Structure 1
Amino acid sequence: MPASTVGLAPAPPPPLAARVRTTAPSAVREILAVTARPGMISFAGGLPAPELFDAEGLRAAYTTVLTRSARRALQYSTTEGAPELRAAVARRFDGRGLATTGDDVLITTGSQQGLGLIATALIEPGDTVLVENPTYLAALQGFALAGARVVPVPCDGEGILPDALEELVARERPKLLYTVPTFQNPTGRTLPSDRRAAVAAVAARLGLWLLEDDPYGDLRYEGCDIPWLAAHPGAEDRTALLGSFSKVMAPGVRLGWLRAPAALLRGAVLAKQAADLHTSTVDQLAAAEYLRTADLSAHIARVREAYRGRRDTLLSGLASALPAGSTWNRPEGGMFVWARLPQGHDATTLLRAATAAGVAFVPGAPFFAGSPDPRTLRLSFTTHTETEIAEGLRRLAAAGGAHAEAKREARPSPPTSDRPRTGYRRIPRSRPAAPT
Structure 2
Amino acid sequence: MGVEKNIVTDTISGLFEAQSGGPKYRALSAALRQGIAGKQLGNGTQLPPVRDLAWRLGMTPGTVARAYTMLTDEGLLVAEVGRGTFVSGAPEPRPPLYISLPQEATPEGAEMVSLFTARLPDLGQLALIREGFQRIASQDGRELLDYPSALSFAPARQAVVDWLAGVPLGGLHHEDVVLSHGAQSGISLVMQAVLRGRRPVVLVEELAYPGFRRAAELMRAEIVSVPMDEHGIVPSALADLARRHEAQLLCTSPELHNPTVTITPQERRREIAAVARSCGFDILEDDSTFLGESRAESYRALLPEQGWYVSSISKTLTPALRIGFAVAPQRSRTALRRVAENGFFGLARPLADLTRDLLTREETREIVRSVRNRNAVYVRSTVNALGGFDLSWHEDSPFVWLQLPAGWRAAAFCLAAEQQGVQVRPAEDFAPRNGFAPHAVRIGMNAQVAMADFEAALARLRQLLDNPPEQILV
**TM (normalized to structure 2)?**
0.71
Instruction: Summarize deviations over 1:7-33 as a string: whole Å, max 9, x none.
Output: xxxxxxxxxxxxxxxxxxxxxxxxxxx
In 2 relative to 1, CA 252–151 (structure 1 residues): closer, same or farther, beyond 3 Å? same
Q: Is the 8 A contact 1:186 1:367 kept in 2?
A: yes
* Aligned pair partner of 1:164 in 220, 229, 237: 237
Q: Counterparts in 2 of 1:85-124, with a 5 A limit?
A: 85-97=156-168, 98-123=170-195, 124=197
Match of 1:152 in 2: 225
Match of 2:470 in 1: 408
Match of 2:400 in 1: 337
SS in structure 1 opposite 2:192? helix
The structure with higher relative contact order (CA 8 Å, sep 6+) is 1
Q: Does 1:198 align with 2:295?
A: no
Q: Does 1:381 align with 2:445?
A: yes
Determine the C-alpha separation between the residues in 2 that align with 1:226 and 1:165: 20
Determine the C-alpha separation between the residues in 2 that align with 1:111 and 1:73: 25
Name the amino acid aligned to 1:64: R
Q: Is the 8 A contact 1:176 1:209 kept in 2?
A: yes
Q: Does 1:174 align with 2:247?
A: yes
- 1:119 is displaced (CA, Å) by 2.0
Match of 1:294 in 2: 362
In 2 relative to 1, CA 39–238 (structure 1 residues): closer, same or farther, beyond 3 Å? same
- 1:167 is displaced (CA, Å) by 2.5
- 1:148 is displaced (CA, Å) by 1.4
In 2 relative to 1, CA 137–258 (structure 1 residues): closer, same or farther, beyond 3 Å? same
Percent identity, aligned pairs only, is 25
In 2 relative to 1, CA 90–205 (structure 1 residues): closer, same or farther, beyond 3 Å? same
Determine the C-alpha separation between the residues in 2 that align with 1:395 and 1:316: 14
Name the amino acid aligned to 1:215: S
Q: Is the 8 A contact 2:117 2:399 kept in 1?
A: no
Match of 2:338 in 1: 270
- 1:197 is displaced (CA, Å) by 1.3
Match of 1:215 in 2: 288
In 2 relative to 1, CA 305–83 (structure 1 residues): closer, same or farther, beyond 3 Å? same
Instruction: Summarize deviations over 1:160-195 as a string: whole Å, max 9, x none.
Output: 122222222233221111001112211122111111
Name the amino acid aligned to 2:454: I
Q: Does 1:397 align with 2:458?
A: no
SS in structure 2 opposite 1:378? strand
SS in structure 1 opposite 2:288? coil
- Cα RMSD after superposing both structures: 2.4
Q: Does 1:318 align with 2:375?
A: no
* Aligned pair partner of 1:228 in 288, 298, 310: 298
Name the amino acid aligned to 1:72: E
Match of 2:205 in 1: 132
Structure 2: unaligned runs, 5 residues or longer: 1-108
Instruction: Summarize deviations over 1:354-401 as a string: whole Å, max 9, x none.
Output: 111110100011211362224111111143343232111122234456
Match of 2:353 in 1: 285
- 1:306 is displaced (CA, Å) by 0.7
Structure 1: unaligned runs, 5 residues or longer: 1-36, 321-325, 413-436
SS in structure 2 opposite 1:120? helix
Q: Is the 8 A contact 1:340 1:376 kept in 2?
A: yes
Q: Does 1:372 align with 2:440?
A: no
Aligned length in residues: 362
Q: Is the 8 A contact 2:380 2:395 kept in 1?
A: no
In 2 relative to 1, CA 110–155 (structure 1 residues): closer, same or farther, beyond 3 Å? same
Determine the C-alpha separation between the residues in 1 that align with 2:360 and 2:145: 20
Q: Is the 8 A contact 2:375 2:395 kept in 1?
A: no
Instruction: Summarize deviations over 1:220-276 as a string: whole Å, max 9, x none.
Output: 28xx722222112xx111111101021222111111111102453333333323432
SS in structure 2 opposite 1:203? helix
Determine the C-alpha separation between the residues in 2 that align with 1:80 and 1:203: 34
Match of 1:69 in 2: 140
SS in structure 2 opposite 1:295? helix
In 2 relative to 1, CA 154–39 (structure 1 residues): closer, same or farther, beyond 3 Å? same
Instruction: Summarize deviations over 1:301-356 as a string: whole Å, max 9, x none.
Output: 11111111111111111157xxxxx5121225221211111344211111111111
SS in structure 2 opposite 1:164? helix
SS in structure 1 opposite 2:164? helix
Determine the C-alpha separation between the residues in 2 that align with 1:310 and 1:281: 37
